[in-house]
Amino acid sequence: MSTVTAIEKKPEATTAPATTSISGSVAVLEAFIAEGVSTIFGYPGGAIMPIYDALYDYNDKLEHILVRHEQGGIHAAQGYARTSGKVGVVFATSGPGATNLVTGLADAMIDSTPLVCVTGQVFAHLLGTDAFQETDVINITTPVTKWNYQVTDATEIPHVLAKAFYIAGSGRPGPVLIDITKNAQLQKFDYAGYQKCTHIRSYRPKPIVRKEYVEEAAKLINAAEKPFILFGQGVILGRAEKEFKAFVEKSGIPAAWTILGESAIPTDHPLNVGMLGMHGNYGPNVLTNECDVLIAVGMRFDDRVTGRLDIYAKQAKVIHLDIDPAEIDKNVKSTVPVWGDCKETLPMLTDLIQPKTYPQWLAKFNEFRKQEEEICIYPEMHPTDDVMSMAEVMNLLNELTNGDAVIVTDVGQHQMVACRYAKFNQSKSNITSGGLGTMGFGLPAAIGAKYGAPERTVIAIIGDGGIQMTIQELGTIMQFGAAVKIIILNNQFLGMVRQWQQLFHDKRYSFVNITSPDYIMVANGYHIAAQKVEHREQLRQALTTMLNHNGAYLLEIMVGKENNVFPMVPQGCSVAEIRLK
Angle ∠(570,576,579) on CA atoms, nearest 5: 45
Stretch that binds another protein, among 17-25, 90-98, 185-193, 339-347 (CB under 8 A): 339-347
Q: Of the two residues 3 and 541, which places its CB atom closer to another protein in the complex? A: 3
By the rule CB under 8 A, 148 interacts with another protein: yes
Stretch that binds another protein, among 209-217, 247-255, 258-266, 409-417 (CB under 8 A): 209-217
Strand order, beta sheet including 406-409: 430-431, 406-409, 458-463, 484-490, 553-558, 529-533
By the rule CB under 8 A, 12 interacts with another protein: no
By the rule CB under 8 A, 205 interacts with another protein: yes
Q: Distance (Å, rounded) from C-alpha 257 to C-alpha 259?
A: 6
Q: Distance (Å, rounded) from C-alpha 468 to C-alpha 458?
A: 20
Q: Distance (Å, rounded) from C-alpha 4 to C-alpha 7?
A: 9
Q: Distance (Å, rounded) from C-alpha 518 to C-alpha 520?
A: 5
By the rule CB under 8 A, 203 interacts with another protein: yes
Amino acid at residue number 308:
R
By the rule CB under 8 A, 11 interacts with another protein: no
Which of 339, 361, 365, 493 binds another protein (CB under 8 A)? It is 339
Stretch that binds another protein, among 75-83, 187-195, 309-317, 334-342 (CB under 8 A): 334-342
Which of 70, 111, 341, 464 binds another protein (CB under 8 A)? It is 341
Contacts 24+ apart (CB under 8 A), 326-329: 327/300, 327/301
By the rule CB under 8 A, 242 interacts with another protein: no
By the rule CB under 8 A, 561 interacts with another protein: no
CB atoms within 10 A of CB 61: 13
Does residue 410 contact residue 487 with C-beta atoms inside 8 Å? no
The sign one gets for the Cα dihedral 242, 74, 169, 204 is negative
Q: Of the two residues 216 and 249, which places its CB atom closer to another protein in the complex? A: 216
Which of 79, 227, 280, 340 binds another protein (CB under 8 A)? It is 340
Site for another protein in 346-365 (CB under 8 A): 348
Q: Of the two residues 200 and 293, which places its CB atom closer to another protein in the complex? A: 200
C-alpha closest to that of 452 among 65, 82, 29, 35: 82
By the rule CB under 8 A, 330 interacts with another protein: yes
Stretch that binds another protein, among 205-213, 246-254, 526-534, 573-581 (CB under 8 A): 205-213
Q: Distance (Å, rounded) from C-alpha 436 to C-alpha 417?
A: 18
Q: Of the two residues 1 and 18, which places its CB atom closer to another protein in the complex? A: 1
Stretch that binds another protein, among 100-108, 200-208, 271-279, 562-570 (CB under 8 A): 200-208
Three-state DSSP at 182 gives: helix
Q: How far is the CB of 47 from another protein (least distance, A)?
A: 19
By the rule CB under 8 A, 201 interacts with another protein: yes
How, if at all, do strands 430-431 and 406-409 pair? parallel
The sign one gets for the Cα dihedral 540, 470, 424, 437 is negative
Which of 125, 211, 269, 540 binds another protein (CB under 8 A)? It is 211
Stretch that binds another protein, among 80-88, 273-281, 322-330, 446-454 (CB under 8 A): 322-330
Q: Which residues are catalytic?
A: 70, 132-133, 182, 496
Q: How far is the CB of 303 from another protein (least distance, A)?
A: 15
By the rule CB under 8 A, 329 interacts with another protein: yes
By the rule CB under 8 A, 326 interacts with another protein: yes
Which of 43, 147, 301, 361 binds another protein (CB under 8 A)? It is 147
Q: Distance (Å, rounded) from C-alpha 35 to C-alpha 60?
A: 16
Q: How far is the CB of 181 from another protein (least distance, A)?
A: 14
Write out 221-278 in H/E/C secondary structure. HHHCCCEEEEECCHHHHCCCHHHHHHHHHHHCCCEEECCCCCCCCCCCCCCEEEECCC
> How many chain residues are in contact with another protein, going by CB under 8 A?
39
Stretch that binds another protein, among 29-37, 121-129, 206-214, 239-247 (CB under 8 A): 206-214
By the rule CB under 8 A, 430 interacts with another protein: no
By the rule CB under 8 A, 210 interacts with another protein: yes
Does residue 394 contact residue 418 with C-beta atoms inside 8 Å? yes
By the rule CB under 8 A, 207 interacts with another protein: yes
Does residue 303 contact residue 435 with C-beta atoms inside 8 Å? no
Helix (H) or strand (E) holding 90: strand 88-92
By the rule CB under 8 A, 209 interacts with another protein: yes
Q: How far is the CB of 214 from another protein (least distance, A)?
A: 8
Q: How far is the CB of 305 from another protein (least distance, A)?
A: 19
Q: Omega before 379 cis (within 30°)?
A: no
Which of 11, 96, 143, 481 binds another protein (CB under 8 A)? It is 143
Does residue 264 contact residue 257 with C-beta atoms inside 8 Å? yes
The sign one gets for the Cα dihedral 83, 525, 539, 499 is positive
Q: How far is the CB of 115 from another protein (least distance, A)?
A: 15
Report the Cα–Cα distance between both ends of the chain, in Å, rounded: 60
By the rule CB under 8 A, 167 interacts with another protein: yes
Indicate the burial class of 57 (C-beta count within 10 angstroms; 0-12, 13-18, 19 or more).
exposed
Which of 43, 149, 244, 566 binds another protein (CB under 8 A)? It is 149
Indicate the burial class of 428 (C-beta count within 10 angstroms; 0-12, 13-18, 19 or more).
buried
Q: Of the two residues 344 and 577, which places its CB atom closer to another protein in the complex? A: 344
Which of 33, 124, 206, 456 binds another protein (CB under 8 A)? It is 206
Q: Which residues bind another protein (CB under 8 A)?
A: 1-2, 4-5, 138-139, 142-143, 146-150, 167, 200-213, 324-326, 328-330, 339-341, 344, 348
